[in-house]
Amino acid sequence: MVEKAWTSSVSFSYGALVGLLPFHFDVLITNRSSTMMVVMTAMILVVVGVLLLLLWRARRRRGGVYLVDYGCFLGEPRHRVPFATALEHGRLMTNLLDEESTNFMVRLHQKSGIGEETSVPDSFRYIPPESGIEASREEAELVIFSAVDKAFAAAAATGLVPADDIGTLIVACSFTTPTPALADVVVRRYGLRADVRSVNLSGMGCSGALIAIGLAENLLRVAPPGSRVLIVATEILSSMLYTGRKREMLVPNVLFRMGAAAIIMSNSPEKARYRLGPIVRTLTAARDGDYRCAFQEEDDEGITGINLSKDLPVVAANALKGHLVAFGLAVLPTSELLRVAISFINHKIINKFFTTTKDSNNNYYRPGFHRLFQHFCIHPGGRRVLDEVQRGLGLTDDDMEASHMTLHRFGNMASSSLLYELAYIEAKGRM
């Protein structure tokens, strides 16, 4: 997986640079001394490229961005939905779900990795379930206010006055876009400053929280020292519930659960808990399969829901291959970058010109990402998704523990799930 990504990245640069040399490439391959010159030139260019990359990294690190504190919603006992309760409830909704649809969701739940302590909103407990604007607004206020209260309380314990200090508010929620916006709901509830800049992100799916953090980073790098940003990430289930019979659209009913997280970020290290590392984002929406892997649409009966493609785990794994190129350039240490470059030169240049046998295995050096980081928070999109990511990155079961346990205890809470994983790692005393 990593081999192909690194090869395509470096070979393009080499081919472009060879075209700038003041001699013809077809002459070089027939002359061993000239070939050696190409090899030496390529090695020099690789070293120069690594140095330029390090300079770029150093410039990006100027003006740090920090996580001050955060809070996560925890459901009350009345929100808990054991498997037996969900099964009984589903079988009682005979006017909405037929037996085949119910049995499909039962089989999916048994393979999902979701446990008995997950939470759903009160609107799900009615027959038929409530899915209107009022139910969505009530759920949004419940989960968002709980998460923000906890984040503000944690920050206040260190002497901060969060409501007065927040200069920017970012709310990430994909499928619920009421008017007034959810950002306005937060501003009204906590009496944020009149000059607060509020942003509402929708349609970003399970990447919403990280996209919001990236936006906050960009704003904080140009903001006055001591500026703070409040980020709220959630997904409102009351507006996502699907009551039709199309299997691909029944999957979210099984996987998604109620949750929210609030994060306070700053460009000042004072009283901060973590310093933000490189944020790398790649987008594969130009590919049809990737674009439609999670698609909001109406079924044949006109019922709206989220169509989760059965190929989603494979799409995620393939997207990860391309993402590793940009991610590796941002996070790999110099020694690893040089090993990758030398491996490329050895396989693509030296072996081609100086050996008579071809290396059909393409055994390029593979950077060990699991050796570079202490902790991993992989989005708990489902057991199959986690298994594909673990296989692709070569991670151990210990590396994946926080992701699997978050999925088991809380379910898939969309983009806020990553903060629950961070809380799990902290609770285990591993941070």
- What confidence score (pLDDT) does residue 14 get? 32
Per DSSP, the chain holds a count of helices (H) and strands (E) of 17, 8
- pTM for the full predicted model: 0.81
- What confidence score (pLDDT) does residue 289 get? 85
- What confidence score (pLDDT) does residue 393 get? 78
**CB distance 252 to 208 below 8 Å:** no
- What confidence score (pLDDT) does residue 7 get? 30
Cβ-based neighbour number of residue 299 at 10 Å: 15
- What confidence score (pLDDT) does residue 89 get? 86
- What confidence score (pLDDT) does residue 26 get? 44
- The 10 Å CB-count burial string (b at 16+, else e) for 328-361 is bbebbeeebbebbbebbbebbbbeeeeeeeeeee
The residue among 387, 109, 407 whose CA lies nearest residue 253 is 109
- The 10 Å CB-count burial string (b at 16+, else e) for 185-212 is bbbeebebeeebebbbbeebbbbbbbbb
In angstroms, the CA 150 to CA 419 distance is 13
Residues of the chain with pLDDT under 50: 1-31, 356, 359-361
The residue among 312, 316, 336, 341 whose CA lies nearest residue 10 is 341
- What confidence score (pLDDT) does residue 96 get? 79
Name residues whose C-beta falls within 8 Å of residue 189's C-beta, 6 or more positions apart in sequence. 141, 145, 148
- What confidence score (pLDDT) does residue 17 get? 31
